[in-house]
A = this chain, B = another copy of it.
């Protein structure tokens, strides 16, 4: 037990670096009290999620601190998006290492600041401690939905259409690129894929517009097939997912080999933070127009079926067995 005495570190960091992040949140009480306060409007429900990240497992210890901060925040915002929620604010717990000096922490806070402005949220509270192990971060994100309107994983019905947002697999390929495991591609493709790994794009606006349309929704964090497994289990349905409909980025498409390893990365790699959601077949035009109007790309990749698990099929409807079925973080 090595509690340092009279180390101004914690209070100074809170006062000088973290408090400004809380300035726009009256409920943070300027980070000067034991807890934060939050009001809900009538008819609203609170949506809460909490993720943890450890250096060497969820990010590289020498990643730019701004990117680490943004990934931490955005993966949590993606969980809020999965429920159709509008984000409000967040609490942050950080276990810094000795390598996290004042400049590092300032850069980390600057990443949060930029994303706070982008997503219109603020810091509500939290805790800062020191660790002798890898940098460990935890964030609790708070949002709201209209009561009873939250998107869930358990509402998909046989016959519903399965959609995903954006393109899949970019983040997994970006990680492989950073690890030197990807065949050479054009420099701008490399940058695109690595950027997709570093900076998830939580699909908050799209998700909020789906609350009256989608029968189920989640964000893809463990890989499309693994996550659709959760939807199938929770909804007591199966799914057919067509390989030739999976949306690929130009960068992913540019890879020379598209064998099983490639498709493993695309539908099993995880960290996509795209939405997978189901809508009744009768709503096909409505949901596609809605996405078009909102400037969001969505792709119809399959259908919900009788069954209890997703089936990934090729052009002639034959099942494709992939060695991996999704990352687990534990």
Contact = CB atoms under 8 A, between A and B. Distances in A.
A39 B33 contact: no
A37 B47 contact: yes
B126 A50 contact: yes
Interface string A233-275: 0100000000000000000000000000000000000100000
Given A129-B58, A131-B134, A50 B93 contact: yes
Contacts of A83: 33-35, 37
A64 interface: no
Interface string A90-116: 011111100000000000000000000
Given A46-B46, A48-B36, A133 B130 contact: no
A325 interface: yes
A303 interface: no
Interface stretch (A6-14, A156-164, A307-315): A6-14
Q: Is the interface of A mostly helix, strand, loop or mixed?
A: mixed
Given A36-B49, A46-B38, A57 B131 contact: yes
A60 to B, nearest CB: 7
B234 A129 contact: no
- Which of A40, A126, A138, A150 gathers the greatest number of chain B CB atoms within 10 Å? A138
A45 B36 CA distance: 10
Nearest to A219: B34
Contact of A7 (B9, B85, B143, B330): B330
Interface in A1-60: 1-11, 13, 29, 32-40, 42, 45-54, 56-58, 60
Interface in A127-146: 127-134, 136, 138, 140, 142-143, 145
Contacts of A52: 93-95, 127-129, 138
Contacts of A66: none
A13 B192 CA distance: 36
Given A52-B127, A140-B140, A175 B34 contact: no
30 contacts: A1-B57, A3-B270, A3-B327, A6-B324, A6-B325, A10-B328, A10-B330, A13-B330, A33-B152, A33-B153, A34-B49, A34-B78, A35-B47, A35-B79, A36-B49, A37-B145, A40-B46, A48-B91, A48-B125, A48-B140, A50-B93, A50-B138, A51-B93, A51-B127, A52-B127, A52-B138, A54-B130, A129-B330, A131-B136, A133-B133
